[in-house]
Amino acid sequence: MPVAAVARTVAVEERSIDQLQASMTAGTASSVDLVRAYLARIAAMDRKGPTLRSVIALNPDALAQAKALDAERRAGRVRGPLHGVPVLIKDNVETADAMPTTAGSLALKDNMTRRDAPVVAQLRAAGAVILGKTNLSEWANIRSTRSMSGWSAVGGLVRNPYALDRTACGSSSGSGAAIAASFAAAAIGTETDGSVVCPSSINGLVGLKPTIGLVSRTHVVPISHSQDTPGPMARSVRDVATMFSAMIAADPADAATAGAGAYKRDYAAALSTSALSGLRIGVVRPEMTADVAARYEVALGVLKAAGAVLVEVKQPKLDGIGEAELLVLQTELKADLDTYLATTPAAVRTRTLDQVIAFNRANEAAEMPFFAQETFEAAAKTRGLDDPAYKAARTKSLRLAGAEGIDAMLKTARAT
């Protein structure tokens, strides 16, 4: 009997992409088996049990996609290391499947675009199964300065699988909690400021914010075109490298990615346990509690044991960077979100940021039970991308973060 037709119980807990691929190669599991196993875990722990609320929607076509990929495998075609591997997508990234892209907001509950974001198309072409969409901090944490990491009106509050009363961080909260709980092999998050790396850290994962321009942002609900990017989240560096390798591509609709093809390669193949030998790494010591400082020293010891040369670096004072960046984010939010909303289906009635603000006011009990929308309201008052104040703030942000910030620190430490 064909392997895809056999109902089997397979172990997916804390399994790497390589391990899942090896089991499919050996015929001890199929992509269908993996999808069923992950769906069972989601049903038992995300919807019931600890109720993590990390998965906001399941793809009704996931099993059909898995069956098709199993058929390809039987026919001798394996697309690569992601062939048949189930992944989750943050719900501000569009997929062509029968799932809306809500960014966690009820204003976008009817945003069924039926189009793949290019980054999703890349994963699909590499053989990944799109299992579903993950919950997130609503509007990727940009609606309010008092927003709650991991809460959205659509999905509720994401819970940390390691400590249910602790934060899962954000804004890619669901992606972090879901992969930590083994609801899929890996996930896509998005980051403007910390939204991939924080939930990855808090949920015990590896997360990568790629350099802007390597991964397309088209059909991703935006905050800032100068800082937004999708990024992979998984259980290991190798799994993140495998995902990242599949995600890189030039996109004609995203000018920043014009040179992405030059960086397209298999980053997992280049991984080495000796990679840190002789590498100079700058070390910043922020204020920390005693227990955190002790754990920090343990982590530094791991780097030293791997051969890294650690160099103490003081973080420079960068007066005004916060204010400058905030103006950039607010200005780009209005411009970029208005542009995105104009492309959504007619069923979406909120076509501008102003209309989203009005929607939230009209639905205050559901949308604003915990925090308001002062950042949205400030963004609505900005004067556009040609505003001299915005341009000056953008220039200042680049100078302080770059030449006077990270570049200066690396130069002082002669770090790599």
**Residues with active-site annotation:** 90, 171, 195
Identity of residue 306 = A
DSSP assignment of 31-80? HHHHHHHHHHHIIIIISSTT----EEEE-TTHHHHHHHHHHHHHTT---S
List, in sequence order, the alpha helices (H) in 306-400: 321-341, 353-362, 364-367, 374-380, 388-398
Closest listed residue to residue 3, CA positions, set 69, 86, 81, 91: 69
Half-sphere exposure of 201 (CA within 13 A, CB side): 9
Query: What does the block give as tokens for 4?
Result: 């895809």
Sequence length of the chain is: 416
Q: Which residues pair with 283 in a beta bridge?
A: 312
Residue 330 Cα distances to 9, 12, 144, 270, 389, angstroms? 49, 42, 11, 39, 12
CB burial of residue 156 (10 Å; 0-12, 13-18, 19+): middle
Coil vs helix vs strand at 310 = strand
Tally DSSP H helices, then E strands, for the chain.
Answer: 14, 10
Residue 266: name the closest of 294, 247, 285, 291 by CA: 247
Q: Which residues pair with 160 in a beta bridge?
A: 163
DSSP 148: P
